[in-house]
Amino acid sequence: MYAWIWRRLPGAWHTKLAVAAAAVLALVLVLWNVVFPWVEPKVQFDHGVVTGTPSPSSSPEPGLP
């Protein structure tokens, strides 16, 4: 897969390297800033609240079973 992508990248090897690095960076940024914050509450493994709280703000605890 990566070999195939590498062959597809234009230019000499250093251009390829630069483009590849930029693509990886872009992917990491999208994951970090968009995907992970979205996934995080769905897989939350760190929940410290006991439920059914005397909370007047009555929206139910998100992410709880």
Partner 1 sequence: MRTLIRGLGELCITAGLILMLFLTYELWGTGQYTRDQQNRLTERLLERWEAPEVTTEQVELGSGIAMLRVPEFGDDYGFVVVEGVERDDLRKGPGHYPGSAMPGEVGNFVVSGHRTTYSAPFNDLGELERGDEILIDTREKQYVYKVTGRDIVEPTAVEVTAPVPYHPGKKPGERLITLTTCHPKYSDAERMIVFGELTAAKPRVPTAAAAE
Q: What's the min distance (Å) between Cβ of 53 and partner 1? A: 5
In the list 18, 25, 34, 53, the residue contacting partner 1 (rule: CB under 8 A) is: 53
| Residue placing its CB nearer to partner 1 in the complex, 12 or 50 | 50
What is the SS3 assignment for 31?
helix
21 is a contact residue toward partner 1 (CB under 8 A): no
Q: Rg of the chain's alpha carbons, rounded to an integer?
A: 21
2 is a contact residue toward partner 1 (CB under 8 A): yes
**CA 29/CA 45 separation, integer angstroms:** 23
45 is a contact residue toward partner 1 (CB under 8 A): yes
What is the SS3 assignment for 48?
coil
